[in-house]
Amino acid sequence: MVFSAAFSPNGRRIVTASNDGTARLWDAATSKQIGEPLRGHEGWVFGAAFSPNGRRIVTASRDTTVRLWDAETGKPVGEPLRGHGGFVYKAEFSPNGQRIVTASHDDTARLWDAATGKPVGEPLRGHKSTVFAAEFSRDGQRIITASLDNTARLWDAETSRQIGEPLGHENAVYSAAFSPDGKRIVTTSRDATVRLWDAATGKQVGELRGHTEHVSHASFNPNGQRIVSASADHTGRVWEIFVNFHDYVEHGKAAAARCLAAVDLKLFFLATEPPRWCIVLEKYPYHTLTWKKWLSDTLAGGSPRCP
């Protein structure tokens, strides 16, 4: 079973983590394995990730350790990172590559110095059960964690202190991730929902329903305008995200197959003059040259009758 897969920063390689106790490197263009498996863990490998410069790989294992590897040679770097008292489900580098954050069955997340493998500060304590995931914000100043205790929590990456109140679901939270600009957080849960949060206030700003089983993972696309989610209902879903009402209206304009005709406008007691964007975007029934001329005359200061 393969638990996770991640691209290298340049997109040329992939690292996978498996219950066979190894991580493996693959050529993204040819799908062929690169070198020998990364062997050293004594249990399942739940997670694997590249450093921002692509030179290191970090792995998280059921054997309660985290290991660093040279991404070119596949050889271990230093000693295993020891300190967790349970399975380690995830390990990720900070954006500057100087820190590693890990999430564990021992109800904590921990920070490590990526160069020395030494713990940094105190464990992130506050969750009441297993921590499945931990991730840095893009600026490296905050961490978001997801837990079996039905919450996600925000932390200060320098002080290891919790920020604000927990972000709650109705069941276990499996994943949590920041948007590219750091203003939003997306969480997934056993309650079959995907939820959006304001990262500054901790307030819920949206709930995405459609999956019928638990949702294991969700992430933003690079511009933060879409979310992709994966579920035990055997589906993946893509969701459009709108930062403000203006963006929502603009999306509606582009997505609309047609605009309301005059008879429709009268039916809803609306002005029979169509919105100008219907003509500009050539939406039926305002896609003709007659309507374009009407708009041109109107913008020039005239008062032409509607066609």
Closest CA to 177 of 207, 240, 221, 124: 221
| Residue with the larger pLDDT of the pair 257 and 289 | 289
> Which helix (H) or strand (E) is 135 found in, with range?
strand 131-136
* 70 has a pLDDT exceeding 90: yes
Distance (Å, whole) CA 96 – CA 52: 7
Q: What is the predicted pLDDT for the residue at 306?
A: 85
* 31 has a pLDDT exceeding 60: yes
> Which helix (H) or strand (E) is 7 found in, with range?
strand 2-7
| Residue with the larger pLDDT of the pair 288 and 100 | 100
Range 184-194 average pLDDT: 96
pLDDT tens for each residue of 218-258: 999 988 888 999 999 999 999 988 655 556 556 566 666 77
Average pLDDT score, the chain: 92
Distance (Å, whole) CA 244 – CA 5: 33
Domain boundaries in the chain?
A: 2-242, 256-299
Dihedrals φ, ψ of 277, to 5°? -65, -25
Closest CA to 109 of 81, 90, 95, 137: 90
Mind giving me the DSSP string for 262-281?
Answer: HHHHHHTT--SSPPHHHHHT
Q: What is the predicted pLDDT for the residue at 307?
A: 85
Q: Cα dihedral sign for 139, 141, 144, 145?
A: positive
Give the contacts of 182 (CB within 8 A, at least 6 positions apart): 137, 138, 139, 142, 199
> Which helix (H) or strand (E) is 295 found in, with range?
helix 289-299
CATH class of 2-242: mainly beta
Quick check: helix, strand or coil at residue 168?
Answer: strand
Residue type at position 29 = A
Q: What is the predicted pLDDT for the residue at 250?
A: 60
pLDDT tens for each residue of 141-175: 999 999 999 999 999 999 999 999 999 999 999 99
Give the range among 50-59, 77-86, 220-229 with minimum mean pLDDT.
220-229
| Residue with the larger pLDDT of the pair 256 and 196 | 196
Q: Cα dihedral sign for 185, 187, 193, 197?
A: negative
Closest CA to 27 of 13, 16, 38: 13
